[in-house]
Copies of this chain bind each other. A is one copy, B any other.
Amino acid sequence: MPNIRDVATLAQVAPITVSRVLNNPDTVSPKTRSRVEAAIAELEYIPNQIARSLRSNRTNTLALVLTDITNPFWTAVARSVEDAARGQSFNVILCNTDENESKQNEYLSVLLRKRVDGFLFVPARSEPDAVRSILRQKVPVVVLDRRVPGAEVDVVRSNSEAGAYELTRHLITLGHRQIAMLSGPQNVSSAQERLDGYKRALTEAGLTVEERWIREGEYTVDSGYAVAGQLLLESELPTALLGANNFIALGAMRAIREAGLRIPDDISVTCVDDIPDWLVGEPFLTVAAQSPYDIGIQATKLLLRQIREPGVHSVEEIVLPTELIVRRSTKAVSTQAVIGEYGR
């Protein structure tokens, strides 16, 4: 691969002149410029961004560290981040942590070495260590989807508490009283908040929060399946089930179906996080939908601002609303007494 000197030699100029043709064409006389351009074309010269980065301390690369690109929520975030970054001539390195802390930390370390210009980061836990390790290097970060108490970072997230609250209220309004909460990992802020929202709705409605209806799992289909499976073995079944995220609900739905129960006739199911309607033929799940595309856009905007204006910013927290979308997976309770037997 030819370098700037090869071009310079061929064009009979100094390397710096080639550099100028590339970066400030106006400062070069048309005659030499065209000679240089011809040489560039002939050699198919491609400027070396690595060398440029070494001088400029800019890689024009963002890191997107998320939990699992396989979840349509994160897919949408990734898509929007990439769109927004592209518009500002940044590329995006994608990393899946699977909420695994060691994987996450390994990635952070590699990405810091790569000198990415900034991080869009979904921390595996709500502890501030990881975020701090980035901040200590003065590398811009925006945290997505989760709060990190104890770290001063920009955060873009949805109002999980309100989302879960609304879903629970919706179920209560439908007459449900035995509402199971399939919660996410409690070391993740969004999972905590969703549990909080659930509890608040119950309490405000004068209902008691019963621990037996609350089960903790991971944000995965398998976990939702397993935890719901457990729940369905109990003697008394819930009449409704709130999944802390879409994957938990999907796993639970499979467990429910395999147990021979019908949704929503036997059990209503709902969750935070939508599944894009164009993905599923007929949207079915009642959900508190987030706006993943917005989250990605806003976060990228904040990050690019940090990168471009390295001064001290006030720490921003953008909390986007969720939207209750009622579909066919929830239904007014009717024969709840019967359901206990049904499950057996």
Contact = CB atoms under 8 A, between A and B. Distances in A.
B44 A54 contact: no
B257 A278 contact: no
B94 A78 contact: yes
Nearest to A253: B281
Contacts of A59: 50
A1 B253 contact: no
Nearest to A78: B69
Chain A facing B: main interface SS: mixed
B79 A70 contact: yes
Contact of A91 (B95, B137, B221, B247): B95
**This chain: copies in complex:** 2
A93 B61 contact: yes
Interface string A26-63: 00000000000000000010111111011000010100
A340 interface: no
A70 B95 CA distance: 16
A48 B136 CA distance: 16
A69 B61 contact: no
A1 B61 contact: no
B114 A49 contact: yes
Contacts of A76: 70
A92 interface: yes
B136 A44 contact: yes
A279 B72 contact: yes
Contact of A1 (B137, B251, B285): B137
Interface in A59-83: 59, 61, 64, 68-70, 72, 75-76, 78-79, 82-83
A253 B1 CA distance: 50
B111 A91 contact: yes
Given A50-B50, A91-B110, A275-B279, 18 more contacts: A44-B137, A46-B112, A48-B54, A49-B113, A50-B115, A61-B114, A68-B79, A72-B72, A72-B75, A82-B96, A91-B95, A92-B93, A93-B94, A94-B94, A250-B279, A254-B278, A275-B280, A279-B279
26 contacts: A46-B109, A46-B113, A48-B115, A49-B114, A50-B115, A61-B93, A68-B79, A69-B78, A69-B82, A70-B79, A75-B75, A79-B96, A86-B95, A91-B110, A92-B93, A93-B94, A247-B278, A250-B278, A250-B279, A253-B281, A263-B281, A275-B279, A275-B280, A279-B280, A280-B281, A281-B284
